[in-house]
Amino acid sequence: MPVIEIHMLEGRDLGKKKALVKNVTRAVCESLDVKPETVRIILSEMSRENYAAAGTLFCEKQSL
Amino acid sequence: MPVIEIHMLEGRDLGKKKALVKNVTRAVCESLDVKPETVRIILSEMSRENYAAAGTLFCEKQSL
Amino acid sequence: MPVIEIHMLEGRDLGKKKALVKNVTRAVCESLDVKPETVRIILSEMSRENYAAAGTLFCEKQSL
Amino acid sequence: MPVIEIHMLEGRDLGKKKALVKNVTRAVCESLDVKPETVRIILSEMSRENYAAAGTLFCEKQSL
Amino acid sequence: MPVIEIHMLEGRDLGKKKALVKNVTRAVCESLDVKPETVRIILSEMSRENYAAAGTLFCEKQSL
Amino acid sequence: MPVIEIHMLEGRDLGKKKALVKNVTRAVCESLDVKPETVRIILSEMSRENYAAAGTLFCEKQSL
């Protein structure tokens, strides 16, 4: 009964989110031999003001 | 000094949230024998576009 | 379908853990009006070397 | 630059873990159109004493 | 390649967030002897309706 | 009252952990103008079998 949290920059549309949870669930089920009904996925979206790499917020950078 | 994060679908009103943190804090204190002042609770609300079970987002389903 | 993560210092015995998940699940169900089958709880135990308050690890302090 | 945390019951061997991170990374990259180098995955294993559904720890149940 | 999540009450302006990720990244690099490029920081802001201590939400209290 | 979780590869000795929580707490306090007593830090250590970048576990790579 895996629980998966995906932190990602905000801005993906509903179609991408649907594809994401469908594809990740399939990858988890095939890899761990569990049933899809047991898999829960939380999408945790971050604004570019709330995510940093190398000490710099993404809103201070150009590209994704 | 427990720290508790509760992921739940968004949409609960303030009264429900008040009851939730009060009741969960009491349950933790009684079970673990700690003082209420040491317990912190983070409510992490998810939209129905950001939570999935069995590979399907909740916004694609009817009921909670 | 709430997912709850409880961070706490390690060392609680099985009886306390059983009571904790039972009591917290009940508190969540009563407060949010959800069914117990939908509630998952993750216990995330920390050693005293891996938890700090006020800039000091718990292994450097006397009491819990 | 997604960061993914997968909470799962402990006991999977190294081969399953290798497959899991490879397959989930591919699923994320294809769904979100990001490069593999940007994807980090944290595997967070739980003992059956530390994971509960419906108010009952997994060590109190028979099957996964 | 540390990943850091900072849960904090919402309301800090961009300048404070910039300083926060810069200073925490430096503290992590100096303490663990890692390079800044490997450090990612997620800022997870909570409203006062979604954070509690001692069983009481922050929106029910006066001060931070 | 920030709560900080630091995910990092296991293997740091107690001295490094002490320095880490001391320095990160100071960085947070100076940046956000909060008191040290309000800051909690959780160190979440990962084995090299449980952390991946670019679809590959760290135990399959040479260097940190």
pLDDT at C64: 44
**Could you tell me what percent of chain C has a pLDDT over 70?**
95
Residue of higher predicted confidence among A63 and D46: D46
* Chain C residues within an 8 Å CB radius of B16: 31-32
Tokens of C48: 């005293």
- Average pLDDT estimate for D36-40: 98
pLDDT confidence tier of residue A5, bands split at 50, 70 and 90: very high
Burial grade of B57 (CB within 10 A; 0-12, 13-18, 19 or more):
buried
Q: Give the whole-angstrom CA distance, residue B4 versus residue A64.
A: 32
Please report, for residues A24, C4, E6, E61, F4, the alpha-carbon distance to residue F42 in angstroms, rounded to integers and kept in the order given.
28, 17, 10, 25, 6
Task: Find the mean pLDDT for residues D28-47.
Answer: 98
**Candidate from F7, F46, F57 with C-beta closest to D21:** F57
Look at residue D61 in the predicted model and tell me its pLDDT.
84
Q: How high is the pLDDT of residue A64?
A: 44
Model confidence at B22, pLDDT cuts 50, 70, 90, reads: very high
pLDDT at F61: 83
Taking contacts as CB-CB distances below 8 angstroms, the residues of chain A near D34 are: 64
Mean pLDDT for chain F overall: 95
> Does pLDDT of A62 surpass 80?
no
Structure ipTM: 0.95
Give the residue on D whose Cα is nearest the Cα of A29. Answer: D20
Contact assignment for A5 to D2 by CB distance below 8 Å? no
How far away is chain B from the Cα of A57, in angstroms, using its nearest Cα?
22
pLDDT 10s digits, B25-35: 999 999 999 99
pLDDT over 90 (residue E24): yes
Q: What is the mean pLDDT of residues B17-31?
A: 98
Q: In the structure, what pLDDT confidence band is assigned to residue F64 with cuts at 50, 70 and 90?
A: very low
pLDDT for C62 beyond 80: no
Mean pLDDT of all residues belonging to chain D: 95
Return the SS3 of D58. Answer: helix
Tell me which chains share at least 3 CB pairs under 8 Å with chain D: A, C, E, F
* Of residues D44, D49, D54, nearest to C14 (C-beta): D49
- For residue C8, give the nearest of C49, C43, C55 by alpha carbon: C43
pLDDT(A48) > 90: yes
The residue extents of the domains of chain A are: 3-60
Cβ contact B22–E46 (<8 Å): no
pLDDT confidence of residue E61 = 83
Query: At E48, is the pLDDT very low, low, confident or very high (cuts 50, 70, 90)?
Result: very high
Under 8 Å between Cβ of D4 and D41: yes
pLDDT attached to residue C40: 98
Comparing alpha-carbon positions, the chain A residue that sits nearest to E42 is: A51
* Of the partner residues C7, C55, C59, the one whose CB lies closest to the CB of residue F42: C7
Identity (one letter) of the amino acid at A10?
Answer: E
B and D interact (at least 3 Cβ pairs within 8 A): no
| Fold that domain F3-60 belongs to in CATH | Macrophage Migration Inhibitory Factor (3.30.429)
pLDDT of residue D10: 97
What is the side-by-side order of every strand in the sheet holding C40-46? D56-57, D51-53, C40-46, C3-9, B3-9, B40-46, E51-53, E56-57
pLDDT-based confidence at E62, cuts 50/70/90?
Answer: low
C and E touch with 3+ CB pairs <8 Å, answer no
One DSSP character per residue, E38-59 reads G-EEEEEEE-TTSEEETTEEGG
The Cα D47–Cα D57 span in angstroms is: 10
Q: Which of A1, A2, A42, A49 is catalytic?
A: A2
Average pLDDT over residues A38-59: 98
What distance in Å separates the CA atoms of residue C28 and residue F1, rounded to the nearest whole number? 24
- Residue C61 pLDDT > 90: no
Of chain A, the percentage scoring pLDDT greater than 90 comes to: 94
Task: Give the separation between CA A8 and CA A11, rounded to whole angstroms.
Answer: 9
Mean pLDDT, chain A, whole residue set: 95
